[in-house]
């Protein structure tokens, strides 16, 4: 059964965030380890657009989180937590965040993108040109890199897709090269 069909069944063919019934799409909640239904939600184009483009946020649209934050599915809880964290300066989202409970693994997943951290405390990853890198971005290596602990050499021009960020060090990202997950220094990559 396809992920979209399973999500439609799980959600009753409604956006799992706001309850809309039109323009529904599968939205993978990053960082995804395996993908699939457990790491995805069914969301409307309005919700997805506002998640991906913070400048388009409509505060009143997100009042729906008052209900969806209690959803039993971890992926929905993660998105609700991230959106409430993003909006918390508005007052009512902070109250909802204070009521919300996430188990340790789900909270770690929700915090993996850096959402909810104060701006001055955020670790910002930048490529060799100073462009900000985010989870899920694709980069290309600008130099041959020897991989420590192996005889492998990651060649210049190699594309690395769906990167992950080290939230403690702005100079490190992780990605797969030739099927092996490696740590890459941001000074040696360029965002595609």
Could you tell me which of 7, 178, 180, 177 has the C-alpha nearest to residue 189? 177
Output the CA torsion sign for 134, 135, 138, 139: positive
pLDDT of residue 35: 81
pLDDT of residue 118: 58
Give me 76's structure tokens: 């929905």
CB 64, CB 19: distance < 8 Å: yes
pLDDT of residue 117: 59
Q: CA-CA distance, 147 to 144, in Å (whole number)?
A: 10
Q: Which architecture, in CATH terms, is 123-191?
A: Roll (2.30)
Residue 102 DSSP class: -
CB 68, CB 75: distance < 8 Å: no
CB 77, CB 102: distance < 8 Å: yes
pLDDT of residue 150: 85
Could you tell me which of 174, 152, 116, 137 has the C-alpha nearest to residue 184? 174
Distances (CA, A) of 181 to 33, 111, 136, 178: 12, 21, 14, 8
pLDDT of residue 119: 54
User: Could you report the per-residue pLDDT of 75-108, keeping only the tens digit for each?
Assistant: 999 999 999 999 988 889 999 999 999 999 999 9
Strands 132-133 and 145-146: unpaired
- pLDDT at residue 159 tops 70: yes
Ordered DSSP codes for 36-57: SGGGEEEEEHHHHHHHH-GGG-
Element (H, E) at 108: helix 104-111
Backbone angles phi, psi at 179, to 5 degrees: 80, 0
pLDDT of residue 122: 66
CB 96, CB 66: distance < 8 Å: yes
Task: Write out the residue limits of the CATH 2.30.30.40 domain(s) in the chain.
Answer: 123-191
User: Could you report the per-residue pLDDT of 120-137, keeping only the tens digit for each?
Assistant: 556 788 999 988 888 888
């Amino acid at each position: 059964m396809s992920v979209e069909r399973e999500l439609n069944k799980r959600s009753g063919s409604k956006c799992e965030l706001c309850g809309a019934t039109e323009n529904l799409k599968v939205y993978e909640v990053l960082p995804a380890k395996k993908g699939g239904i457990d790491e995805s939600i069914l969301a409307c184009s309005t919700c997805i657009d506002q998640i991906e483009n913070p400048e388009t946020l409509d505060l009143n649209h997100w009042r729906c989180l008052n209900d969806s934050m209690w959803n039993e599915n971890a992926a929905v809880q993660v998105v609700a937590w991230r959106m409430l964290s993003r909006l918390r300066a508005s007052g009512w989202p902070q109250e909802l965040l204070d009521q919300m409970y996430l188990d340790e693994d789900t909270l770690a997943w929700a915090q993996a993108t850096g959402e909810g951290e104060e701006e001055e405390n955020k670790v910002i990853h930048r490529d060799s040109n100073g462009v900000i890198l985010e989870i899920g971005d694709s980069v290309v290596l600008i130099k041959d890199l020897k991989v420590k602990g192996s005889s492998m050499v990651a060649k210049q021009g190699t594309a690395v897709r769906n990167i992950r960020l080290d939230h403690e060090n702005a100079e490190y990202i992780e990605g797969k090269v030739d099927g092996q997950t490696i740590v890459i220094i941001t000074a040696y990559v360029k965002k595609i």
